[in-house]
Amino acid sequence: MGRDGRGRLCSMDLIPDDGQDDIFWALQELNARKRSQADILFELNDRLAVKGIDPISKSAFNRKAVRLALHGRKTKEQRELFAGIADQFTPDAVDQGNIVLGELIKILITDILDDGSSTISSKGAMELARGYRDIIMGQNVSADRRSKLEKQFAEKTATAIDSVGKKRGLSTDTIETIKSEILGIKRE
């Protein structure tokens, strides 16, 4: 669970404005992961001393470094996750994903309602009902979109087959047979 508010300020948060560029530099150095934390802290405190600012303690710097490392790992994991699935976001796959997501949300709503320990206000019940309705509407939109895309593809492909077939000197029957075999399009 997250904390309410901003939490307690550490010594690094309390550095005056004229030392903030040095704090920023130290955080960049930590992110670069080319130097030791102790080395970066030593140089940071030297930079702050030149400006007449009290040094940062080893423990405060370590806490900041640990939080930064955790955040960096989470960000890296998210990037890798999205990079791994990015090629799956074709119109066809997005529609399938919407359907799966919709079904998952419907299951969660049912679980919430079936759980005897949870009490849902009338407002909460209305929000669940709206969410469920929106899921169904989204699935319908996805199905309609998919049908339109399939129809457009079939029309463009049929036109291309007609064009190529005529250029190659194929008979109308041969062209229609090709369309029937490839697209399942029957002669009208």
Predicted confidence at residue 1, as pLDDT, reads: 41
Query: Is 30 in contact with 56 (CB distance < 8 Å)?
Result: no
Q: What are phi and psi of 118, to 5 degrees?
A: -90, 135
Predicted confidence at residue 180, as pLDDT, reads: 78
Reported as half-sphere exposure (CB side, CA atoms, 13 A), residue 60 has a value of 17
Residue recorded with tokens 């919407």 = 98
Whether 22 has a pLDDT exceeding 80, the answer reads yes
Distance CA 104, CA 114 (A): 15
Is this prediction's pTM over 0.85? no
What are the angstrom distances between the C-alpha of 125 and each of 104, 119, 120, 122, 128?
18, 10, 6, 5, 5
Q: In the structure, what pLDDT confidence band is assigned to residue 51 with cuts at 50, 70 and 90?
A: very high
Please, what is the average pLDDT of the chain? Answer: 76
